Chains A and B, each alone.
Chain A
Amino acid sequence: MKLDRRAAMATLLAGRDDNLLVVPGLGSTAWDVAAAGDNDRNFYLWGAMGGAAMIGLGLALAQPTRRVAVITGDGEMLMGLGALATIGIQRPRNLAIVVFDNGVYGETGMQPSATQGGVDLMAVAGACGIATCLDVRDQAALDDLAGRLKGFDQTLFARVSIEATEPPRVLPERDGVALKRRFRAALGLASQAKA
């Protein structure tokens, strides 16, 4: 069974607390996170394809008392597949990588991705040493994942099987400096750097 992406994102982020920091990958997952409700603790990507998981790693290591959820698409994850190896040996207990997998590049005309061709991201994550890998294919599994995002204590990977649809875009702030400053301010960090 394949899930509706907007409804799935709304389920994952419903009732989120201030200790959940969200890094959506560029494109559809960023629009999905924005549609679920804007939040200063979202760091939307409009570029940096292949970098979402590693941004999540740096953030998780820097903020060990908070939880970090990278929520990205299969195409974005495939571009930075090596990050799963890097994360697999760091294994921060507060990092979750959630991949919305529809098997296509939705922003560019629904061309098939390697996951449609049979590449199994769950198997890759598991082979990289991530102990908890969840295959989310129905509402019960989605609800389970949503519950885990409210309090997990080891590196987590989840593939959420979603339909290849293109809901109306919900565009978040796109000024990168503004996004950075509001995110840091929400964490109580100085908005300006000090040398």
Chain B
Amino acid sequence: MNASMDWPDRLFETIKRAGIRQVGYVPDAGHARLIDRCRADPDIRDVVLTTEEEGVALAAGAWLGGERSALLMQSSGLGNCVNMLSLMRTCRFPLLMLITMRGEWEEFNPWQEPMGSIVEPVLKLCEAEVYRANAPDEVAGAAERAVQVAFGDERIATVVLSQQLIGKKVWTK
């Protein structure tokens, strides 16, 4: 695996260093390797969700019980979370979200564009800190900063992983 492809491992290392014990996710191709690594780790409880907002509530419960969690999703999933994010803001729960982008670069599927195009404005309206990674060497720094803000300041902090970083989805083989 070449250096440009190992950014999911940098995210996993950040998750481990941060002491994260619960990882909620709705599967996404961009997160496939990170999900595999979390599932293989005996110290991480991987929780597959039916919808992303469940992961917001899961993170609140984890923090009430003294554990750190992370929530993995694709950009479309953010739209499923908006009201539940009120819980995090009202109670100042930490929430670390790692979001893989669709609909912004070389997107074949136009149905991804409406939500993809408003991810960052929606996050900012929800008072989330946004750290965007467009290239592999930006991933680790963005993730470390998001961890500090989420768990240090009890805030919503997100790492937005650009579609260019993840690469084109292959539709026909």
A interface residue numbers (CB < 8 A to B)? 21, 23, 43, 45-63, 80, 82-83, 85-86, 89-90, 176-177, 179-180, 183-184, 187, 189, 193-195
Contact = CB atoms under 8 A, between A and B. Distances in A.
B58 A187 contact: no
A5 to B, nearest CB: 24
B94 A59 contact: no
B65 A59 contact: yes
A187 B90 contact: no
A96 to B, nearest CB: 14
A54 B64 contact: no
Interface string B48-83: 111101111111111111110100000000000001
A55 B61 CA distance: 4
A180 B91 contact: yes
A120 B74 CA distance: 32
Nearest to A90: B47
Nearest to A59: B61
Contacts of B84: 48, 50-51
Interface of A: prevailing SS: helix
A23 B59 CA distance: 14
B65 A61 contact: yes
Query: Looking at B62, B84, B91, which has the most chain A CB atoms within 10 Å of its CB?
Result: B91
A50 B51 CA distance: 11
B54 A82 contact: yes
A105 B37 CA distance: 43
B86 A47 contact: yes
Contacts of A183: 64
Contacts of A21: 65
Contact of A193 (B48, B50, B152): B152
A61 B57 contact: no
B51 A82 contact: yes
Contacts of A83: 50, 54, 57
